[in-house]
Amino acid sequence: MTPNLNWVPHEVDIDTPSAARMYDYLLSGSHNFAPDRALADMFDQALPGSRDIARLNRAFLRRAVLFLVESGIRQFLDIGSGIPTAGNVHQTARRVAADSRVVYVDTDPIAVAHSQLMLADDPQALAIKADLCEPESILYAPQVRGLLDFSQPIGLLMVWVLHFVPIARDAVGILRRYRDALVPDSYLAVSHFTADSRPAEMAAMVKVMKRSANPIHLRTRAQIVELFAGFDMVEPGVVATALWRPEGPVGNDADRTEVLAGVGRKP
């Protein structure tokens, strides 16, 4: 049967697996193609438990957003937002604060197209296609400035995305440019694959991702902590995703230490 590809933007290369579509597949979504699924299965062979790792990351994102709303944040800049799935940031935030505004940013045309479709009738949220390595293209985009008020605190979310930034691109320097555009009491939430956990399996996973459009670059815990330069770490600091302010007993999820997560507040 010929698949119905009406939802695919014309510029999309469906033969090269993308991180957005592989993650969608790992989370049981339906916006992925055979090459994405094949590489995601190889990803899971290299790093067994990858579906749990993705699920725990998504749960961290939810708890981080709720924490930020409780801390007074009403506007979010979600960079590397991915293909919309259950528990998108605007939905999570608005369950507690109905006036929350969200800008979604991604480089993946499918992620952006689907986000724009989902938000077509939502004046308080929008999605743009941009690269996080070019902060000014996001921070000064008229659409972004039209929705977010940079004189008020913003929740900057970079969840499961900074490991796509090559080490040579100076992620710390890039983050400094975002930090400088935010007022005090803004927050940064990050999750990131770490080189410190299961090194052999991680190396195999990195090799698999070289076949995708989005190779992964591991950082040590110390390098991930450094990403928060200029922010005060919120307790409990940079920890495995399941251990960041869990809402109940975490059980075996505590053993999933491949992705580290943290939240910082700009003083």
Ligand X SMILES: C[S@@+](CC[C@H](N)C(=O)[O-])C[C@H]1O[C@@H](n2cnc3c(N)ncnc32)[C@H](O)[C@@H]1O
The residue whose two tokens read 């049967």 is: 1
**Would you say the C-alpha torsion 60, 62, 63, 64 has a positive or negative sign?**
positive
Indicate whether 160 belongs to the interface with ligand X (CB under 6 A). yes
Cβ 213 to ligand X shortest distance, Å: 8
Give the amino acid at 238: V
Identify whether the C-beta of residue 156 lies closer than 8 Å to the C-beta of residue 124. no
Q: What is the distance between the alpha carbons of residues 170 and 165, in angstroms, rounded to a whole number?
A: 8
CA Rg, the chain, in Å?
17
CA-nearest of 169, 168, 171, 156 to 224 is: 171
**β-sheet bridge partners, residue 128:** 105
Please select the residue that binds ligand X; options are 46, 103, 111, 259, rule is CB under 6 A: 111
DSSP-derived letter for residue 203 is H
Please select the residue that binds ligand X; options are 17, 19, 126, 256, rule is CB under 6 A: 19
Cβ 47 to ligand X shortest distance, Å: 14
Please select the residue that binds ligand X; options are 25, 40, 47, 57, rule is CB under 6 A: 57
Cβ 267 to ligand X shortest distance, Å: 25
Q: Which residue is nearest to ligand X (CB)?
A: 82
Please select the residue that binds ligand X; options are 39, 61, 227, 240, rule is CB under 6 A: 61
Indicate whether 127 belongs to the interface with ligand X (CB under 6 A). no
> How many residues at the interface with ligand X, by CB under 6 A?
23
Indicate whether 107 belongs to the interface with ligand X (CB under 6 A). yes
Region binding ligand X by CB under 6 A among candidate stretches 92-100, 153-161, 181-189, 252-260: 153-161
Indicate whether 193 belongs to the interface with ligand X (CB under 6 A). no
Strand 259-265 relative to strand 239-240: parallel, antiparallel, unpaired? Answer: antiparallel
Q: What is the distance between the alpha carbons of residues 267 and 263, in angstroms, rounded to a whole number?
A: 13
Instruction: Catalog residues that contact ligand X under the rule CB under 6 A.
Output: 19-20, 23, 57-58, 61, 79-82, 105-108, 111, 131-133, 159-161, 164, 214
